[in-house]
Amino acid sequence: MTTFDDRIDAAVALPEAAIEDEAGAPITRVVPVRQPGDGLLGRFLPPIIMLAVFIGIWYLYSTLAFEQAFQRRNALPYPHEVIQDGFLPLWDSRQGTREILGYMWPTVKVTLLGLAISIVVGVLIAVVMNMSKYSERAIFPYAVVAQTVPVLAITPLLTQVFGDRLAVRLAVVFLIAVFPIITNTLFGLQSTDRLHHDLFTLNKASRWTRLWKLELPTAIPALMTGIRIASGLAVIGAIVADFFFNQGDKGIGYFIRVTQQKAANRPDMLAGTITASLFGVVMFLIVGAITARAIRDWHDSAHSS
Amino acid sequence: MTSVDEQRWLASIGGETRLRFDGLSMIFPDGTHALDDISFSVAPGEFTTVVGPSGCGKSTLLRIASGLESGYTGVCDVNRDTIGYVFQDATLLPWRTVQRNVELNAELHGIDKAERKRRAEQAIELVNLAGHEDKYPKQLSGGMKMRCSLARSLVLNPGVFLFDEPFGALDEITREFLNDELLRLFSLERFAALFITHSIAEAVFLSTRVLVMSARPGRIVGDYQVPFGSERPHDLRFEPEFAELCGQINDDMKDAHA
């Protein structure tokens, strides 16, 4: 019979001794360190359960609303109705997914173009603001105004200035998306290490060299964070623009607005809404992937995205 | 002026001295009296170290020598044509590989691509980083980062080399190892070196001359010629003469603190 002390001795013995029993056969194996929840199941099961719960609540709401309402008019269509009447048939140009994608395309164009303009102009503005305290003070309040002014309130003004086709939609996207680009880039430019600045001073670097070889590279991770926030906002901006400026190419916002007017078209409306939301998610994922690719070699945070 | 200083002064008239302070004082605009009446000079092939307690103004002295700090009174005469400066931190650019980090100083000085590539390869070889050219700083250990930082300065063949506690953040073993390496580089390049540290052993091991600085305002309160030759084996640190000199400097530091 082993005493308590024997067991203590065994427990503190050398590892080689601990992994063999009396007959010399290994009784424990070295197991690679794994965090719980690293497996496929641990990764995908939680969001799938979440989705199931969400769809369950949706069914519940649709059912209750149907029983309470005198008419079906105010009810939310069931999820299967959205798929049957909204997304199917998949490839019909007058109805279903293909029609929705047709309306998505102008929105995608406005989003990407508006985001590109926001990035270029936003970075330029941040660089100018970084030049001196005075330029920062001069510009910053107006950058904040661009962010906080309700876009709908200045809709007539925007139409006056930009006409009512592509340019005005781009202006809406720009107004919404440029602020996070400016603030993040400026923060990135200003967080340059003091000793790095000394290093460039010692090497008699010019202002442009300093900007190009030190400050802008330093700002890249912050800029990418800004672009990621802006990409979601740009999608919102493009859809809002679709809602209120419907001359020219009609976007998904127009489709959503029109289909929500008749109860019979509500499944189409929801299909459009879901497609537009998926586009926002896709934008977010793409920018995240580009960020990870761009800075994975050198930035500490690169593995987190 | 002591006779040793006089000899140095004469040497400097012959164009030999690359770094000279004379009656240098520094009072910051906020009233902090950092340095008081500092006078010494460093010739090529001399490795002068200033030891002193934290916050005594050693780093300020170095920043003045490099030209990063101004507003002092007195004379600061430094040949800044090619200056090497090694910071407390490796200050590598994280988005550049070892190779491109080592090329940086040459690049900023407008040296053409082929030439700076050649020099960088040489410098990388010299600090024993060959084979790591394509790594990024985040893949390097603290000691390797510091070697990379040294190589970056070596690329310009500096006549004056300033070191601002470069190995202070490293562990003891890595630090001693890099001390050996630095001595080897010094024996090859014979620059004029001004080194700042608060480690007495490091000061004695590396230097031809050790200056002791008092707490703020920083004054030179001790001046030691280090009697060991240019061949300094790793084990020198355990010789009685080495310990004795360290002890004397330590006493000076204590007096300066009191």
Q: Using one digit for the tens of pLDDT, what is the confidence trace for B88-115?
A: 999 999 999 999 999 999 999 999 999 9
Reported as a pLDDT band with limits 50, 70 and 90, residue A303 is very low
Across residues A51-64, what is the average pLDDT? 90
Check residue A155 and give its pLDDT.
77
Check residue A193 and give its pLDDT.
94
Check residue B1 and give its pLDDT.
42
Q: Is A214–B94 a contact, with Cβ atoms under 8 angstroms apart?
A: no
Q: Is A196–B138 a contact, with Cβ atoms under 8 angstroms apart?
A: no
Residues A132, A128: Cα–Cα separation, whole Å: 8
Check residue A4 and give its pLDDT.
46
Q: Is A199–B67 a contact, with Cβ atoms under 8 angstroms apart?
A: no
3-state SS, one letter per residue, for chain A:
CCCHHHHHHHHHCCHHHHCECCCCCECCCCCCCCCCCCCHHHHHHHHHHHHHHHHHHHHHHHHHHHHHCCCHHHCCCCHHHHHHHHHCCCCCCCCCHHHHHHHHHHHHHHHHHHHHHHHHHHHHHHHHHHHCHHHHHHHHHHHHHHHHCCHHHHHHHHHHHHCCCHHHHHHHHHHHHHHHHHHHHHHHHHCCCHHHHHHHHHCCCCHHHHHHHHHHHHHHHHHHHHHHHHHHHHHHHHHHHHHHCCCCCCCHHHHHHHHCCCHHHHHHHHHHHHHHHHHHHHHHHHHHHHHHHHHCCCCHHHHHC
Reported as a pLDDT band with limits 50, 70 and 90, residue B131 is very high
List the single residue in A with minimal CA-CA distance to B89. Answer: A195
Check residue B229 and give its pLDDT.
82
Reported as a pLDDT band with limits 50, 70 and 90, residue B47 is very high
Check residue A27 and give its pLDDT.
44
Q: Which residue has the higher pLDDT, A231 or B189?
A: A231
Whether residue B55 is predicted with pLDDT greater than 80 in this model: the reply is: no
Question: pLDDT averaged over chain A?
Answer: 83
Q: Which of A37-46, B144-153, B247-256 has the highest mean pLDDT?
A: B144-153
Across residues B58-79, what is the average pLDDT? 89
Check residue B106 and give its pLDDT.
93
Report residue A197 as tokens. Answer: 């600045």
Check residue B202 and give its pLDDT.
92
CA quadruple A237, A238, A239, A241: dihedral sign: positive
Reported as a pLDDT band with limits 50, 70 and 90, residue B8 is low
Q: Which residue has the higher pLDDT, B1 or A157?
A: A157
- Using a CB–CB cut-off of 8 Å, the residues of A that contact B are 193, 195-196, 198-205, 209, 213-214, 217, 220, 295, 297-300
Q: Work out how many CB contacts closer than 8 A connect A with B.
A: 50
Lowest mean pLDDT among A3-12, A49-58, A286-295, B189-198: A3-12
Whether residue A97 is predicted with pLDDT greater than 60 in this model: the reply is: yes
Question: pLDDT averaged over chain B?
Answer: 87
Reported as a pLDDT band with limits 50, 70 and 90, residue A164 is low
Domains of chain A by range and CATH? 1-65 (no CATH), 85-304 (1.10.3720.10)
Across residues A94-107, what is the average pLDDT? 89
Using an 8 Å CB-CB cutoff, list chain B residues near A206.
none
Using an 8 Å CB-CB cutoff, list chain B residues near A204.
108-109
| CATH class belonging to B3-7+14-257 | alpha beta
Each domain of chain B, given as residue ranges in start order, spans 3-7+14-257
From B202's Cα to the closest Cα of chain A, the distance in A is 24
Whether residue B120 is predicted with pLDDT greater than 70 in this model: the reply is: yes
Check residue B162 and give its pLDDT.
94
Of the residues B59, B93, B100, B162, the best mutation for testing chain A's interface (the one with the most A CB atoms within 10 Å of its CB) is B93
In this prediction the pTM is 0.81
Lowest mean pLDDT among A23-32, A88-97, A254-263, B143-152: A23-32
Check residue A55 and give its pLDDT.
94
Whether residue A257 is predicted with pLDDT greater than 80 in this model: the reply is: yes
Q: Is A200–B108 a contact, with Cβ atoms under 8 angstroms apart?
A: yes
Using an 8 Å CB-CB cutoff, list chain A residues near B88.
195
Whether residue A190 is predicted with pLDDT greater than 90 in this model: the reply is: yes
Reported as a pLDDT band with limits 50, 70 and 90, residue A28 is very low
Whether residue B64 is predicted with pLDDT greater than 60 in this model: the reply is: yes
Check residue B114 and give its pLDDT.
94
Check residue A33 and give its pLDDT.
63
Distances (CA, A) of A235 to A112, A148, A259, A291, B32: 9, 17, 20, 19, 55
Cβ-based burial of B146 (10 A; exposed 0-12, middle 13-18, buried ≥19): buried
Whether residue A25 is predicted with pLDDT greater than 80 in this model: the reply is: no
Lowest mean pLDDT among A160-164, A254-258, B18-22: A160-164
Reported as a pLDDT band with limits 50, 70 and 90, residue A16 is very low
From B158's Cα to the closest Cα of chain A, the distance in A is 12
From A305's Cα to the closest Cα of chain B, the distance in A is 18
Q: Which residue has the higher pLDDT, B212 or A25?
A: B212
Report the percent of chain B where pLDDT is more than 90: 44
From B91's Cα to the closest Cα of chain A, the distance in A is 6
3-state SS, one letter per residue, for B14-54:
CCCCCEEEEEEEEECCCCCEEEEEEEEEECCCCEEEEECCC
Q: pLDDT of A112-149, one tens digit each?
A: 999 999 999 999 999 999 998 999 999 999 988 888 88
Out of A193, A195, A202, closest to residue B66 by CB: A202
Report the percent of chain A where pLDDT is more than 70: 82
Q: Which residue has the higher pLDDT, B218 or A303?
A: B218
Q: Is B91–A196 a contact, with Cβ atoms under 8 angstroms apart?
A: yes
Across residues B164-171, what is the average pLDDT? 89
Check residue A19 and give its pLDDT.
39
Reported as a pLDDT band with limits 50, 70 and 90, residue A8 is very low
Reported as a pLDDT band with limits 50, 70 and 90, residue B17 is low
List the single residue in A with minimal CA-CA distance to B69. Answer: A198
From A113's Cα to the closest Cα of chain B, the distance in A is 29
Whether residue B76 is predicted with pLDDT greater than 60 in this model: the reply is: yes
Reported as a pLDDT band with limits 50, 70 and 90, residue A31 is low
Residue (of A230, A267, A235) closest to A251 by Cα position? A235
Of the residues B66, B69, B89, B91, the best mutation for testing chain A's interface (the one with the most A CB atoms within 10 Å of its CB) is B91
Predicted-assembly ipTM surpassing the 0.85 threshold: yes
Across residues A247-273, what is the average pLDDT? 87
Lowest mean pLDDT among A60-69, A175-184, A252-261, B232-241: A60-69
Report residue A127 as tokens. Answer: 């660089």
Amino acid letter, residue B30: D
